[in-house]
C-alpha cells in the first residue's frame, strides 16, 4: 500500500495529478499550482510503456487461458504468478498504462506496523511480505545483488508514533501483540525515539513502536521489473498486454450463457479457464456495465480520495525511518465481519475528511507527506486546503517545517487518486456467484502494493482449484453482501 494507495483510472487523462515546487527557507504563505500531470508522469517512467500501442483491427480476437482486466500492481502480479508457476497463458487489458493509477500514487510501504494479528487480512499480509522478501532474494541471486536498487527499496524500518499517554498505552499493547505474533517490534519512550529521529517532536508523554524489518519500495521500479518478467513470456505465446485498451463488456456463450471473453475497445480476449477483474475502485462501475441489468450482485467498493505531497530533493528535514501517526491505524481496522455489508456507507454520504501524518524519504531524497482520506466520488480536483492541512499536520510533528516556505511551483508532486475502499476493511477475492470462471479482485484500499504478491498466489490457487496457503473464505463474495 503501502500506507497510501490509489485506484486505477479508466482514462489516461484522469491519472494522478502532479505539480512542481520551489522551496526557500523564508516562512511565508503556502502557494499551489498544478501543471501538465499526465505528460510529466510518463517522462518520469522511461522503463514503462509511454506511447499507446499500435492500433489493432477492430475487435480482433485472441485466445488465452486467463484474461486479467487491470494492470495495476494487483493485475500485473496475478499475471506474473500465473506465468511463473503454471503453464497457462495470460492476457492483460488496461484502460491506461501501469503506474498511472493506484500503484504509482502511493508511498510504497511494505509495513506490518498497522496490521492486526488475528484479523482477516493478517495471514495474507504475512504471506505477501514473505513473498516480497523471496522476490528480493531471487533478484539478488540472479543479478549478483542489487534487489534494493532494482525495487527502489529502503529497509529503514517503520515508526508508529503516539503523543499522548493514551496513545502510548495503545502502542505498548500493540508492541506486545505483534511480538507474540513473531514480528520484531520495539516499544520506544520519548527519549529513545528522539535518539532515532532527532527532528521528530512528540512531547514528553509521546513515543513510538519501532519495527526495524519494515521497508518501502518504489512502485514504478517494482512494476517495471514485473513487466519485464511478464514480457519475457511473450515470445512463447503465453503473454499479451494491451494498454490504453479499456474493457467494455463481457462476452457470453450463446449456448451455455457462461462468460467466455472480454470485449475491449479494440479486441475480444477469450479466457478458457478464468477472467479476472482487478480494476480497483472502478470494479463496481465495470460490474454494472458487464452484468445483466436485473442482477442482485452489488460489490460496495467505493473510491476513497486521497492527496499526497512529494517534495523532490528535500534537504530541510532529515528522516531516518518511515513514520506514521497512530491515528492512521484507525483507517485500517476492519468493521464487524458478522454483519452483511450494504451497498451504501454513512461515511460516503457525509464525505468526512480525515488527515493523518505519514512521512518518509525515498531513495531519491524526496520527502513524501500524507495523507488525506475522503469520499468525493471520482473527483480528481486538487484541493489546496487539504494540501495545506497535510503540510500543517506534518509541521506539528516536525517543527522545522514551520520555518520552511512552500511554493508548489517547482520540484514538487501532488498525487491524487482513489483507494478502492470496502466498508468491512478487507479485499474481495473470489468468484462471482453463478459465474464461477469470473473472479473479482478489489478492495485493497491502501494495501494494494503490500498485499499484491499474496493476492496473486491466492488467485492462482483459486483458478487451479488448489487449497490456498492462506484461507480464501474471509475474502469470498458469497454471503458477504446485501442490497
Predicted pLDDT at 40? 39
Per-residue pLDDT tens digits of the chain, which is 483 residues long: 333 332 233 333 334 443 333 233 333 333 333 433 333 343 333 333 434 444 444 569 999 999 999 999 999 999 999 999 999 999 999 999 998 776 777 888 899 999 999 999 999 999 999 999 999 888 777 765 566 666 766 778 999 999 999 999 999 999 999 999 999 999 999 999 999 999 999 999 999 999 999 998 888 889 999 999 999 999 999 999 999 999 999 999 988 888 999 999 999 999 999 999 999 999 998 888 887 765 778 899 999 999 999 999 899 999 999 999 998 775 444 333 333 333 333 344 445 899 999 999 887 889 999 989 999 988 888 888 899 999 999 999 999 999 998 876 666 888 888 899 999 999 999 999 888 899 999 999 989 999 999 999 999 999 999 999 999 999 999 888 754
Q: Residue 340: what pLDDT?
A: 38
Extract the C-alpha cell encoding 374. 475522503
- Please report the pLDDT score of residue 346 as a whole number: 36
pLDDT score of 3: 34
Note the pLDDT of residue 390: 94
State residue 9's pLDDT score: 33
Which domains does the chain carry?
15-43+156-213+301-421 (3.30.9.10)
Structure confidence at residue 2 (pLDDT): 35
- If phi > 0 it is left, if psi is from -120 to 50 it is alpha, else beta; for residue 102 that is alpha
3-state SS string for the chain: CCCCCCECCCCHHHCCCCCCCEEECCCCCCECCCCCHHHHHHHCCCCCCCCCCCCCCCCEEEEEEEEEECCCHHHHHHHHHHHHHCCCCEEEECCCCCCCCCHHHCCCEECCCCCCCCCCCHHHHHHHHHHHHHHHHHHHHHHCCCHHHHHCCECCCEEEEECCHHHHHHHHHHHHHHHHCCCCCEEEEHHHHHHHCCCCCCCCCCEEEEECCCEECCHHHHHHHHHHHHHCCHHHCCEEEECCCCEEEEEECCCCCCEEEEEECCEEEEEEEEEEECCHHHHHHHHHHHCCCCCCCCCCCEEEEEEEEEECCCCCCCCCCEEEEHHHHHHCCCCCCCCCECCCCHHHHHCCCEEEEEEEECCCCCEEEEEEEECECECCCCCHHHHHHHHHHHHHHCHHHHHCEEECCCCEEEEEEEEEECCCCCCEEEEECCEEEEEEEECCHHHHHHHHHHHHHHHHHHHHCCCCCCCCHHHCCCCCECC
Which residues are paired to 439 by β-bridges? 276, 431
Beta-ladder partners of 90: 66, 239
Looking at residue 363, what is its pLDDT? 79
Model pLDDT, residue 351: 59
The span from the CA of 127 to the CA of 117, in Å, is 13
Task: Quote the pLDDT of residue 104.
Answer: 76
Amino acid at each position: 500500500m503501502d500506507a497510501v494507495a490509489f485506484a486505477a483510472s479508466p482514462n489516461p487523462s484522469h491519472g494522478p495529478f502532479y505539480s512542481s515546487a520551489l522551496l526557500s527557507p523564508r516562512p511565508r504563505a503556502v502557494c499551489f499550482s498544478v501543471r501538465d500531470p499526465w505528460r510529466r508522469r510518463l517522462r518520469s517512467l522511461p522503463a514503462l510503456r509511454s506511447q499507446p500501442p499500435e492500433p489493432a483491427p477492430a475487435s480482433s480476437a485472441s485466445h488465452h487461458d486467463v484474461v486479467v482486466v487491470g494492470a495495476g500492481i494487483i493485475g500485473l502480479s496475478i499475471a506474473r504468478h500465473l506465468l511463473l508457476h503454471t503453464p497457462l497463458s495470460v492476457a492483460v487489458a488496461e484502460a491506461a498504462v501501469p503506474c498511472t493509477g493506484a500503484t504509482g500514487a502511493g508511498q510504497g510501504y511494505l509495513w506490518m506496523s498497522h496490521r492486526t494479528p488475528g484479523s482477516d487480512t493478517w495471514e495474507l499480509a504475512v504471506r505477501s511480505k514473505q513473498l516480497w522478501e523471496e522476490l528480493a532474494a531471487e533478484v539478488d541471486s540472479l543479478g549478483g545483488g542489487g534487489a534494493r536498487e532494482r525495487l527502489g527499496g529502503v529497509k529503514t524500518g517503520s515508526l508508529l508514533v503516539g503523543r499522548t499517554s493514551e496513545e502510548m498505552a495503545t502502542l505498548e499493547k500493540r508492541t506486545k501483540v505483534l511480538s507474540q505474533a513473531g514480528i520484531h517490534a520495539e516499544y520506544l519512550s520519548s527519549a529513545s525515539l528522539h535518539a532515532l529521529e532527532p527532528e521528530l517532536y512528540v512531547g514528553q508523554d509521546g513515543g513510538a513502536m519501532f519495527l526495524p524489518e519494515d521497508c518501502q519500495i518504489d512502485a514504478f521500479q517494482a512494476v517495471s521489473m514485473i513487466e519485464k518478467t511478464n514480457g519475457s513470456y511473450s515470445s512463447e505465446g503465453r503473454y499479451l498486454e494491451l494498454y490504453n485498451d479499456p474493457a467494455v463488456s463481457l462476452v457470453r456463450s450463446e449456448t451455455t450463457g457462461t462468460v467466455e471473453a472480454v470485449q475491449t475497445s479494440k479486441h475480444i480476449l477469450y479466457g478458457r479457464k478464468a477472467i479476472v477483474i482487478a480494476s480497483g475502485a472502478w470494479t463496481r462501475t465495470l460490474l454494472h456495465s458487464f452484468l445483466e441489468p436485473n442482477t442482485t450482485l452489488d460489490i460496495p467498493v467505493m473510491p476513497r480520495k486521497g492527496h499526497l505531497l512529494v517534495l523532490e530533493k528535500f534537504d530541510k528535514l532529515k528522516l531516518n525511518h518511515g513514520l506514521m501517526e497512530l491515528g492512521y491505524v484507525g483507517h485500517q481496522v476492519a468493521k464487524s465481519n458478522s454483519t452483511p455489508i450494504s451497498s451504501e456507507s454513512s461515511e460516503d454520504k457525509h464525505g468526512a475528511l480525515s488527515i493523518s501524518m505519514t512521512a518518509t524519504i525515498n531513495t531519491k531524497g524526496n520527502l513524501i507527506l500524507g495523507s488525506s482520506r475522503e469520499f468525493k466520488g471520482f473527483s480528481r480536483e486538487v484541493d489546496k486546503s487539504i494540501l495545506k492541512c497535510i503540510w500543517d499536520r506534518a509541521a506539528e510533528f516536525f517543527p522545522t517545517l514551520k520555518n520552511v516556505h512552500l511554493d508548489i511551483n517547482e520540484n514538487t508532486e501532488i498525487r491524487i487518486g482513489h483507494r478502492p475502499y470496502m466498508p468491512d476493511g478487507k479485499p474481495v477475492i473470489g468468484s462471482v456467484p453463478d459465474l464461477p470462471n469470473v473472479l473479482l479482485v478489489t478492495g485493497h484500499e491502501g494495501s494494494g502494493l503490500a498485499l499484491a504478491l499474496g493476492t496473486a498466489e491466492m488467485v492462482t490457487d483459486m483458478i487451479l482449484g488448489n487449497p490456498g496457503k492462506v484461507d480464501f473464505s474471509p475474502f469470498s463474495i458469497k454471503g458477504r453482501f446485501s442490497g
